[in-house]
Amino acid sequence: MVANDWDLVDPLQNNKIVAHARGLHIQASRGEEQCWHTSFDIVFEEGSGSLEGSTLQVMGPGVVIDGEWSIVGGTGKLTLARGIIYKTTQKEYDNGGEAIADLDIHAFYIPMERLPNRYVRLASFFLYYFAYYAITSIPIYKSFDFFDSNCDHSFYSKKFA
Summarize pLDDT for 98-123 with one digit per residue, the tens. Answer: 677 888 889 988 877 766 655 555 55
Provide the H-helix boundaries in 4-152: 118-136
Element (H, E) at 49: none
Q: What are φ and ψ of residue 139, in 5° steps?
A: -75, 150
β-bridge partners, 56? 42, 74
Helices (H) and strands (E) in the chain, counts: 2, 7
Q: What does pTM read for this prediction?
A: 0.65
pLDDT > 70 in the chain, percent: 66
DSSP structural state of residue 45: P
